[in-house]
């Protein structure tokens, strides 16, 4: 079965760091790109970052650019999101998702989704 399992969320103070992990299984990892999305209470889900597994091309939305870094460990079928200089507005449930081919900001193109991990940034 296809699985995407997020881990690494938690409570952190503003200015601190967390590293999220997304462990993938049940599909051909390097045929896909992996994105991170987040959803804060009362708000729509938004794209955060994406990595093309095969070529390592990365994308980050403007609000996290310079603070977050997405990367992929292809040998372990795992994608990471390193989050630095966290702000209270980063508080959300973070999801990883897989899209066939290359990165996209369109949520409806993603085939597989994890269940999410909570990130809470205190101020």
Q: How far is residue 106's CA from residue 119's CA, in Å, rounded to a whole number?
A: 23
Q: How far is residue 74's CA from residue 80's CA, in Å, rounded to a whole number?
A: 11
User: 46 with 62: CB under 8 angstroms?
Assistant: no
Tell whether the model's pLDDT for residue 54 goes beyond 90.
no
Instruction: Show the tokens assigned to 65.
Output: 């650019």
Q: What is the mean pLDDT of residues 15-28?
A: 97
Q: State phi, psi for 3 to the nearest 5 degrees.
A: -140, 140
User: 15 with 123: CB under 8 angstroms?
Assistant: no
Model pLDDT for residues 93-117, shown as the tens digit of each residue: 999 999 999 999 999 999 999 999 9
């Amino acid at each position: 079965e296809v699985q995407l399992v997020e881990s690494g969320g938690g409570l952190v103070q503003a200015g601190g760091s967390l590293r999220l992990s997304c462990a993938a299984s049940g599909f051909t990892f390097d045929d896909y790109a992996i994105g991170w999305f987040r959803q804060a209470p009362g708000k729509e889900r938004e794209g955060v970052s994406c990595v093309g597994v095969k070529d390592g091309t990365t994308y980050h939305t403007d609000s996290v650019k310079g603070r977050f870094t997405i990367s992929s460990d292809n040998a372990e079928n795992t994608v990471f999101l390193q989050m630095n200089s966290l702000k209270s507005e980063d508080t959300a449930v973070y999801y990883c998702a897989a899209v066939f081919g290359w990165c996209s900001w369109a949520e409806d193109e993603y085939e597989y989704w994890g269940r999410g991990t909570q990130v809470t940034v205190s101020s």
